[in-house]
Amino acid sequence: MIQTPYYLIDKSRLLPNMEKIARLREASGAKALLALKCFASWPVFDFMSDYMDGTTSSSLYEVKLGRDKFGVGKDKETHAYSVAWADHEIDEVLQVSDKVIFNTAAQLQRFEAKSHGHIRGLRVNPGVSTSDFDLADPARPFSRLGEHTVAGIAPVADLISGFMFHNNCENDDFDRFDDMLCHIEDRFGGLIKRMQWISLGGGIHFTGDDYPLDKFAERLKRFAGENEVQVYLEPGEAAITGSTTLEVSVLDTLHNGKNLAIVDSSIEAHMLDLLIYRESAKISPNTGAHDWMVCGKSCLAGDIFGEFKFEEPLKTGDRLSIQDAAGYTMVKKNWFNGVKMPAIAVKELDGTVNLKRDFGYDDFITALG
């Protein structure tokens, strides 16, 4: 058995998401790019690239990762976006990308000469989103994410061939998506018709069990046809949701008003998004007569995965599987407290489990100096 903690990416649980993405691409004509800001564990990129068109990024290093590791030899697209490109990195960004997307008209103009001849786009902020959390809301007041007026975009429209809209966040409601797309068309329709391609970003949970995939495909196809553009989607969570667990072991138990189990992992170090958004981890099944609070081993008092039900009392040595540990999780792991970073393992379709990467003391010290 692999020593815990480790992330386990299960291809059999990843496959249904990939198949839905492939079905959507076929029915709608839209292209799907993996959002590396959400998931960048490249040992499964070759598998995913059979179902997707490429990658999109938020930094130079993500651009390079997409170019180097996603579907090598399969003619995949690499889109480069950043909130702000630096002078010292733009040349390399252009070398390793197929499209470069600027966050503002000012950045587009700043690098207009350098990027001349490259396929260029601009991020547009439509002023509406589906986020219920201010921290993640791209349309929050005073947002720096994209140009937000027609007047600000029109003077540079001839320098670009596409727009990127990213205003969905954990949106599993097709009607809400449709309403926002109508809003985008109403505000920016004249400019959209001058473009060749439009990215509608990520945050759309179209791989969910009850999502009306056929209606979604029809809406995307209609949008593309009416505006004569190639549509792109940038699925992150939709691509990998439910595919990965964080495997941990119970190190100790105690009782202090509640039953407490300390595991060899840390929410602060290994599932940071849960701490940021004040969410509980998931354990399945969450049933039984025994209530336990599962706690991390770092010194942070609030390092708590959550409270769960079990069929039997937990004891030292028990192994637990924390569900849904891929999106915005593996990419945020860190060395807080020097807690051992989880290894990465992949469960193949035939059931075999292969350890892809382990982390040790050398990784710890090289990350810090």
Tens of pLDDT along 301-360? 999 999 999 999 999 999 999 999 999 999 999 999 999 999 999 999 999 999 999 999
Residues 69 and 21 both lie in one domain: yes
Q: Which of 98-102, 104-108, 137-141, 291-295 has the least mean pLDDT?
A: 137-141
Please state the domain count of the chain.
2
Give the pLDDT mean for 21-40: 98
Give the pLDDT mean for 58-80: 95
Question: Model pTM?
Answer: 0.96
Residue range of the domain that includes 298: 244-325+333-367
Give the length of the chain: 369
Give the pLDDT mean for 57-83: 96
Tens of pLDDT along 220-230? 999 999 999 99
Residues 32 and 110 both lie in one domain: yes
- Name the strand (E) or helix (H) holding 28: helix 11-28
Query: Which CATH number goes with the domain that contains 271?
Result: 2.40.37.10
Residue ranges for the known binding site are 237, 273
Tell me the CA distances in angstroms from 206 to 43, 153, 282, one per residue in order: 24, 30, 21
Residues 204 and 300 both lie in one domain: no
Is the CA virtual torsion 290, 296, 302, 304 positive or negative?
Answer: negative
Does any domain span residue 48?
yes
Residues 125 and 214 both lie in one domain: yes
- Tell me: pLDDT of 72 over 90: no
Confidence at residue 252, expressed as pLDDT on a 0 to 100 scale: 98
Other Cβ atoms closer than 10 A to 54: 22
Residues 153 and 180 both lie in one domain: yes
Does any domain span residue 209?
yes
Residue ranges for the known binding site for substrate are 237, 273
pLDDT band at 132 (very low <50, low <70, confident <90, very high): confident
Tokens representing residue 165 in the block? 């809209």
